[in-house]
Structure 1
Amino acid sequence: VLVVEEEQTKKIKAITLRQAWCNTPCTKGSYVHVIGTFTAGGQCTVDDEHNMVILHPDHLISATTVGDSFSCMRKAVLQDRVKATSDANESAMIGTILHEIFQEALKTNRWDHEWLLDLIQRTIPRKFETILEIGITVEHVIDRLVSKLPHIQAWAKIFIKAYPGSDAVVRDRNGKTAHMSVNKLLEVEEHVWSPMYGLKGNIDASVQVLMRDESGERTLTVPLELKTGKAVNVSHQAQTALYTLLMSDRYDIDVTYGVLYYLESADTSRVPAIRREIRQMIIQRNELACYVRERLQLPPMTSDSHQCNRCYAQETCFLYHRLSEDGTGETLGMPAKQKFEELVRNLKVPHQQFFQKWDLLLTREESQMKRFHRELWTMLSEEREKLGRCFANVVVDPGSFKELPEGQKINRFQYNLIKHHAPLGFSFAESQIAVGEPIVISDEKGHFALANGYVISVRKRSITVAVDRRLHNARTREPGFDPETRQAFAGLMDVTTGMVASSGHAGCDDEPILYRLDKDEFSNGMALVRNNLLQLMNDNDFRSIALRALIVDGRAPTFKPSPSGYSIQSQSQSMVMNSDQEAAVDKVFSAQDYALVLGMPGTGKTTTIAHIIRSLVARGKSVLLTSYTHTAVDNILLKIRNDGIGILRLGAAAKIHPEVHEFATVAAHPSNTLEELERSWKDPPVVATTCLTINHPIFRRRLFDYCIVDEASQITLPVCLGPIRMAKRFVLVGDHYQLPPLVQNKEAQEGGLDVSLFKLLSESQPGAVVSLEHQYRMCADIMLLSNTLIYDGRLKCGNDSVANRSLKAPRLDALQRHHSSQIQRGRSSNPFLTPLGPPVVCASHESPNCWLTHTISPSNKVVFLDTDALSPASQETLSGGSRIVNQLECTLTYQVVESLLTAGIAASEIGVITFYRSQLAQLRQRLRHRAPALELHTADKFQGRDKEVVVVSCVRSNEACNVGDLLRDWRRVNVAVTRARSKLVVVGSARTLRRSGEPTLKGLVDICEQRGWVRELQPGEVEGHVFDGSSLEDWMSTSTQTQRSSATAVAETSAAQRRKVASPKKAIARNSPKTKKPTGPLRPRDANAVGKQPATTGSPAKKKRAVLGESGGNGSGTGGGRWKVPEKRARVGQKVLLSNKPVLRDIVNEVLDEEL
């Protein structure tokens, strides 16, 4: 018996598992989704005939993976954990192309030989990379494809009809027959995520069929699955049956059949959704989800030696057996034992410990990331929008649809999305969803992942995306719809009317659909990262033994004697290197293993990398250039694009800077021939990509002399392992005195996941480090702060011009517009200070006591505006109940920015930095009329950038002098104070920072006081100036409303949650069962009709989820087992979902500022 608590209502309920369900691997604190009904007393029985339980429904398991798991559960788990897939092979590629040909023919209803031949010719160029990787000819591929066309044509002649003919017969496994015709295509390659069943899948074709059998004639919506191989496998039946569940969830109907077509044998069968078979598949899915989600030990190895020897995941399986399970070859039969011992013979105990440590850290981080991923269905789109990870209630801008025939699959269809009703001050540019970000589009009715793709551009009023699927209304029910006998939907191709996809139906519908656009949270990247770690232990991988010695065993790197004094000027380069850059180039040339370049703020890391690349290429060396972000990679390419160097830029065209598209020959300019593609792979000495793109087939054909990793101090060690495996030597460039890699899980961070490979090697092998110490950004006063606090005096100004740099303010006299001898209280610049008394009127900008002129004056290059004397108005407050803001600092920042603009400083030369996203939101609202030229970001987002003037809002001001974790990180403070070139203005509480117990913050205040840079603001001074009335009054109105509403924010949120909840519902474990009144069934459902659900027009929130509480009893049925549940309590509720989240640091891409 499972005792569960429904999250929203807190009602305690009991689920009795019987018969086949009694061995469900449930643990306390796990989420379950109950498909069935509860009694009035809160009881539900799940047995072979009634109801279902979905364990860990948030973890979506591929239907293909579930099918494959019946042959080997271990392989299925490894496929999810490390993406253990086979290399490209001819059969798989031919199958993929045949699928595409079949789908295109379905969309156009064209089956004639000439058209299909032309389709093959148009499809082949998109497969050049795979053909080249396999090593076969285009002619061979075409021959194989052409030989299959008669099979496709014969099938279409029989089944693609308005009504079934006498030969259109399909059979069940039990021998029952039916006549069937496919008369409408709804969608091809339909991608379905179903948190109801904890499943996901890509359905080859969603079709409408006319089925005639003993039950009569019916129009049904079914999944059509195409198999191009010869082998008939039970997993195919399982996969097709599971697709009926997915389509039931997507189309809100009872999908009773699937259709399975084997092209090679021309066999077409009908796969019924039989409960006993579906039940076994869901139980298998639950067991698989438990292994994957809870990261328990791997399933046992198979005893089938024949299957083991043919398995593509064998190396991965063996390495985990040795490293994670401490296994030996004795558990294997011959010849698997020999392969195992050969593979692991060089792995020692330190290697095992290293692997176990980092694998555990990745697992912890992955669990945190999964929380963000499942927000898609556990959080309202409006709530997720507040966190900057979603845009709610958007619609397709009419007429914006474009199909890009040459685009890759992931970005073939382009749309502009706009707000259905945009609130005042809304801007698409103010979120974490920036250009190049991966996104997923769902509708607001709970149909998830309708399309996936990337952001192309962001404007204030619209966002442009390129996605893999059309956003058409495939779920629109046609007149005369009946959920049992006439399941008729709008489609792409209709045999009866002659409508086909090319007729333009793929655009927008007459009836606008409300969508939600979510940031895709690193959906499968962790598996790739874990594979990097595994390949470090794989002796079959190039350089693995040498890299283990350097990274795990701590062997010191070796260097050649001083190089020959190579000068870049000898190669007719116009750029001159300083002594630091020359030393960096020399260090790289002399390195036999690796070199580390420590680039302090403003020292020109990007320029130095450009020098290194030029020097290496001039000596005939090949270079792999990588970084974590596309922006960083492209910034370096922009430095060398006019140098005549051959460059290949890998990656999706939507993510690449327009000015370096000329190098993206593969993505932006597809090759016309196989030979052309091969030249583009082999010839360029420089290949540039991100760290997470190292699974490209080019890396199985090329070995590089050097790998250069920019932003290396911001990249976790396992991520960094990927690219450095591809070269003989590697160069890491970074600064571990600035922000470390972003780690979201606290346990993973405390365990050391935020220790980059750059930091690890810098501290263990200081002899490998060369430092860039001459900076060309900050004037001497600004540099003094970080030089004293962080860099121990090593930073130097590059020249006198840099040291003496000062702000050019051409209109200082214009500051008089903010001064007046008569200040009206109604136009006071700070409504929060009225209790302090009348304003201290400042009549002239030339007044010696004017704090505003003092702050803006070019002679004052560092100014600390101390707000302590303005308490209590200067203290931080909570916005919305839990988000820290400081309204006074917002006002001061607003006044300083407006004054800088008045004095003639361009908005594009001003940056505003704060440490809290809640404060950032307030500042953006206050300064919204200055967007997009004025940039406002968190300190994390500003790393790597600079402005002429930077204003920093510290936010924290309280009696306890508590500064929180964000300000406590000295590396974040270092970033904040090193972004300004000519003027730095810090707004904050000197007392709070000084007494916080953090040496860096105390040192910052002490230096400012010693240098006379502190300006103590006095009561009334902030109100003593005049600013633009309209924008100010707008803000005052907004701020006042915010204050009035903040006290009731939590109660209103709770009420809103009761009115509208996310799908599916959750529940939380309790320590002991209690008897409470039931709240009624969560989703009334026919227990005997798998996949059947009533049609709904509202939110799909009527689904049941629970978290397991205590279990007891004998489970009933035939098992008679008892549950022993670990003492672990999970608390997942509103606080977890809506607050107390780590502030995300977005270093992926910057928003392109464009005209509105």
Structure 2
Amino acid sequence: MEQLGVLELLMEKSFWQEAEPPAEEFQKKVEAFSSKTVLSRGMDNRYLVLEVSIVQNEEGNHEKHLIITASQSLEYKELCILRNDWCSVPVEPGDIIHLEGDCIADTWIIDEDFGYLILYPDMLISGTSIASSIRCMRRAVLSETFRSSDQATRQMLIGTVLHEVFQKAISDSFAPEKLQELACQTVQEIRHLKEMYRLNLNQDEVKQEVEEYLPSFSKWAGDFMRKYTSTDFPQMQLPLPSDGNDNNATCNIEVIKPLDIEESIWSPRFGLKGKIDVTVGVKIHRGCKTKYKIMPLELKTGKESNSIEHRSQLVLYTLLSQERRADPEAGLLLYLKTGQMYPVPAKHLDKRELLKLRNQMAFSLFHRISKSATGKMTELVPLPQMIEEQQTCKYCSQVGNCALYSRAVEQQMDDNSVPIVMLPKIKEETQHLKLTHLEYFSLWCLMLTLESQSKDNKKNHQSIWLMPSSEMEPSGNCIGNLIRTKHVKTVCDGQYLHNFQRKNGAMPITNLMAGDRVILSGEERTLFALSRGYVKEINMTTVTCLLDRNLSVLPESTLFRLDQEEKNCDIDTPLGNLSKLMKNTDASQKLRDLIIDFREPQFISYLSSVLPHDAKDTVASILKGLNKPQRQAMKKVLLSKDYTLIVGMPGTGKTTTICTLVRLRRYIQISRNLQKRKFADQSPLSP
């Protein structure tokens, strides 16, 4: 563990600073943000917070007063008053906020009845994560932090297949024979077959389970689509906010047609992002009146619970929808197992409480590190408090990471408070780990977080919604004023070939090349991040892109912009791997022995135990052209039981060695399989 101590020493030297007074620290934060962040009034209403104070009003209630500015020079200032529960928003000087509401005489008032404050609006958080934070904020923050540690399951695969079958059917037909055909086609798609193989699932069993849902699909379509009169549709209770004091909430809902599938929306206005399963045109028949709305339709494959999490997700999707079109005022929640559909009105109270949860989550994700109490060390901060509901924790996908973070990070702090009832669970989840393993986790979690925050402050997607393409083009990372030409070609499911050219003039000088990842948006602010993909071909007149959505449904006159998808520091994979390294499995135990405890790798003594007996000539042919050091490296790798590091200066042939090694490994595997088959055929028990 001497090396771990060296790393800690380097950390201390790198991040050691004298403690600063809070006022001076906040002032530096304000100056840093104002120099590189776009501020504006109008639709964006992006403000920089200069001062925060708690004030007691005439009624004796406390208010939070913010001195804010949308001026880059910080000269023109306004006041924002947060009342009621909005006082709990953890806003600080130097923060960027977005305001919704009215500004009268340079004063914003955000209270329980009117207005919203969005903290760090450029941090786009998924509606699913926010909805999951209702029962446990800690789980939601962990899910955003350790994203790749969640393993796909049988239920997730079945759910994905069912979503796709329904989405195809709503654009085609819900006839029983058509549903059978769509189910068969979807189950046999390569990506689903690969997942079945990984999960060791039988294709026929998956198909059978999917087919059990199909009658409910037909039932739903029979209830809510293509009836003769408005009275044929089931009656529901749907009080729309725009109805005001109208007490008649009874209505008939008619789903006219799907307008989009898996519509991806980014909302820098509300700090949200998400994919809406189906966007549908709906007629609401109430008495002799009819309203037409475009609403989000959310599909659920699990138990029909009509739970607060499911309903909250719909409410957040109504906020997302406002980036593209008029406020839908409600969403539709459909349980595919039963065909039961629930209308979910989006009331101001619900949106207010969910946006407050979103702000708390954004604060926790933004402030993942801080100075220690002495001011001499940078350290990870505690996550939101553990809940004391053992039944909820029992089925939580993040229970392992929750206990691990508590033991490795939080329990090392003086002010740590862990619920006593949760201590046995924490011990159960982490008792297989040594102290050195916990220290390793804490250190590298901190290192990865520091790296992420450093690079995220420099590179992100903000330019797409903050800067017009004309200002971005000189950097070479954007091409604007594009129109779609030719027909969109479907390469395969989820990949569509698009051709673009400039509406006026030649292509600007650009850094974009074939193979670059890009984000395609409309020039209108309502069309942020329509699709993602990569450049297939680019020349002086046209650019061809392979995108994940078919944009032919948009008008031909739509103007587009292509932005290079900047490669931010992606810590999802290394954090996920760090989490897996700490799991209580044989594979993880072996890796901890090698990586953390520095057990020396072991090697086999003789090549004859690795190579087939009759492989001399074939192996010689594969090794032809390698020099002596390369052959020695090959031999060492073949003899390795654990790992081998191949080290060499640039140009010494490391890549050639690895490519040859892959060929040889493949040959060895094929030879072994043939030998096993030959042995099985010669066995007296074989048929």
Cα separation, 2, equivalents of 1:216 and 1:305: 50
1:118 corresponds to 2:181: yes
Cα separation, 2, equivalents of 1:573 and 1:558: 26
Q: Which residue does 1:167 correspond to in 2?
A: 233
**Residues 41-73 of structure 1, C-alpha deviations (whole Å, 9 max, x = no match):** x21110011211000111111111111110111
For residue 545 of structure 1, give the secondary structure of its aligned residue in structure 2.
helix
CA RMSD of aligned residues (A): 3.2
| Cα separation, partners in 2 of 1:616 and 1:181, compared to 1, 3 Å | closer
| Cα separation, partners in 2 of 1:141 and 1:555, compared to 1, 3 Å | closer
For residue 446 of structure 2, give the secondary structure of its aligned residue in structure 1.
helix
Q: Which residue does 1:179 correspond to in 2?
A: 252
1:536 corresponds to 2:581: yes
1:37 corresponds to 2:102: yes
Cα separation, 1, equivalents of 2:645 and 2:196: 38
Shift of 1:113: 1.3
Shift of 1:460: 4.1
1:353 corresponds to 2:439: yes
Shift of 1:246: 0.9
1:83 corresponds to 2:156: no
| Cα separation, partners in 2 of 1:227 and 1:345, compared to 1, 3 Å | closer
1:73 corresponds to 2:162: no
Contact kept, 8 Å, 1:562 with 1:586, in 2: the verdict is no
Amino acid across the alignment from 1:16: I
Contact kept, 8 Å, 1:193 with 1:199, in 2: the verdict is yes
Q: Which residue does 1:246 correspond to in 2?
A: 320
Cα separation, 1, equivalents of 2:69 and 2:282: 42
**Residues 578-634 of structure 1, C-alpha deviations (whole Å, 9 max, x = no match):** 12212222332344443222232322222122233344445x36xxxxxxxxxxxxx
For residue 401 of structure 1, give the secondary structure of its aligned residue in structure 2.
strand
Q: Which residue does 2:278 correspond to in 1?
A: 205
Q: Which residue does 2:563 correspond to in 1?
A: 518
**Residues 627-670 of structure 1, C-alpha deviations (whole Å, 9 max, x = no match):** xxxxxxxxxxxxxxxxx999xxxxxxxxxxxxxxxxxxxxxxxx
| Cα separation, partners in 2 of 1:604 and 1:524, compared to 1, 3 Å | closer
Shift of 1:140: 2.3
Q: Which residue does 2:12 correspond to in 1?
A: none
Contact kept, 8 Å, 2:149 with 2:577, in 1: the verdict is no
| Cα separation, partners in 2 of 1:365 and 1:327, compared to 1, 3 Å | closer
Q: Which structure 2 residue ranges, 5 or more long, are not aligned?
A: 1-64, 240-246, 369-380, 678-687
Cα separation, 2, equivalents of 1:472 and 1:99: 23
| Cα separation, partners in 2 of 1:306 and 1:158, compared to 1, 3 Å | same
For residue 151 of structure 2, give the secondary structure of its aligned residue in structure 1.
coil
Shift of 1:391: 2.3
Contact kept, 8 Å, 2:149 with 2:580, in 1: the verdict is no
| Cα separation, partners in 2 of 1:210 and 1:9, compared to 1, 3 Å | farther
Q: Percent identity?
A: 32
Cα separation, 2, equivalents of 1:316 and 1:199: 25
Cα separation, 2, equivalents of 1:570 and 1:96: 45
Contact kept, 8 Å, 2:318 with 2:329, in 1: the verdict is yes
Q: Which residue does 1:483 correspond to in 2?
A: none
> So what's the TM-score if we normalise by structure 2?
0.77
1:279 corresponds to 2:352: yes
Work out which of the residue numbers 101, 112, 137 in structure 2 matches 1:48: 112
For residue 80 of structure 1, give the secondary structure of its aligned residue in structure 2.
helix
Cα separation, 1, equivalents of 2:365 and 2:586: 26
Q: Which residue does 1:548 correspond to in 2?
A: 592
Contact kept, 8 Å, 1:88 with 1:133, in 2: the verdict is no
Contact kept, 8 Å, 1:369 with 1:522, in 2: the verdict is no
Q: Which structure 1 residue ranges, 5 or more long, are not aligned?
A: 475-508, 622-643, 647-678, 684-1156
Shift of 1:372: 1.9
| Cα separation, partners in 2 of 1:25 and 1:472, compared to 1, 3 Å | farther
Shift of 1:169: 2.0
Amino acid across the alignment from 1:170: M
Q: Which residue does 2:162 correspond to in 1?
A: 98
| Cα separation, partners in 2 of 1:524 and 1:281, compared to 1, 3 Å | farther
For residue 326 of structure 1, give the secondary structure of its aligned residue in structure 2.
helix
Cα separation, 2, equivalents of 1:392 and 1:316: 43
For residue 572 of structure 1, give the secondary structure of its aligned residue in structure 2.
helix
Shift of 1:26: 0.9
Cα separation, 1, equivalents of 2:149 and 2:597: 30
Shift of 1:195: 0.5
Contact kept, 8 Å, 2:233 with 2:253, in 1: the verdict is no
For residue 189 of structure 1, give the secondary structure of its aligned residue in structure 2.
strand
Amino acid across the alignment from 1:15: C
1:57 corresponds to 2:102: no
For residue 571 of structure 2, give the secondary structure of its aligned residue in structure 1.
helix
Amino acid across the alignment from 1:242: L
For residue 599 of structure 1, give the secondary structure of its aligned residue in structure 2.
coil
Amino acid across the alignment from 1:369: D
Shift of 1:518: 2.0
Q: Which residue does 1:393 correspond to in 2?
A: 481
Shift of 1:7: 4.3
1:604 corresponds to 2:669: no
For 1:660-739, list aligned pairs within 5 A. none
Q: Which residue does 1:463 correspond to in 2?
A: 543
Larger radius of gyration between Structure 1 and Structure 2: 1
Q: Which residue does 2:91 correspond to in 1?
A: 26
Amino acid across the alignment from 1:52: Y
**Residues 447-492 of structure 1, C-alpha deviations (whole Å, 9 max, x = no match):** 2121122333334433322222221455xxxxxxxxxxxxxxxxxx
For residue 596 of structure 1, give the secondary structure of its aligned residue in structure 2.
coil
Cα separation, 2, equivalents of 1:617 and 1:149: 43
Work out which of the residue numbers 462, 472, 476 in structure 2 matches 1:384: 472
Q: Which residue does 1:418 correspond to in 2?
A: 501
Amino acid across the alignment from 1:171: Q
Q: Which residue does 2:521 correspond to in 1?
A: 442
Cα separation, 1, equivalents of 2:444 and 2:262: 36
For 1:607-1006, list aligned pairs within 5 A. 607-618=656-667, 620=668
Cα separation, 2, equivalents of 1:350 and 1:53: 43
Contact kept, 8 Å, 2:264 with 2:273, in 1: the verdict is yes
Shift of 1:537: 2.5
For residue 302 of structure 1, give the secondary structure of its aligned residue in structure 2.
coil
> So what's the TM-score if we normalise by structure 1?
0.47
Shift of 1:380: 2.8
Q: Which residue does 2:70 correspond to in 1?
A: 6
Amino acid across the alignment from 1:21: W
Contact kept, 8 Å, 2:537 with 2:545, in 1: the verdict is yes
| Cα separation, partners in 2 of 1:141 and 1:550, compared to 1, 3 Å | closer
**Residues 706-735 of structure 1, C-alpha deviations (whole Å, 9 max, x = no match):** xxxxxxxxxxxxxxxxxxxxxxxxxxxxxx
Amino acid across the alignment from 1:466: L
Contact kept, 8 Å, 2:523 with 2:559, in 1: the verdict is yes
For residue 299 of structure 1, give the secondary structure of its aligned residue in structure 2.
coil
Shift of 1:346: 4.6
Cα separation, 2, equivalents of 1:242 and 1:309: 27
**Residues 547-604 of structure 1, C-alpha deviations (whole Å, 9 max, x = no match):** 3344334444455668679988754337222122122223323444432222323222
Cα separation, 1, equivalents of 2:553 and 2:69: 37
1:223 corresponds to 2:296: yes
Shift of 1:403: 1.5
Shift of 1:338: 5.3
Cα separation, 2, equivalents of 1:237 and 1:363: 33
Q: Which residue does 1:586 correspond to in 2?
A: 635
Cα separation, 2, equivalents of 1:645 and 1:374: 54
Q: Which residue does 2:391 correspond to in 1?
A: 306
Q: What is the aligned residue count?
A: 577
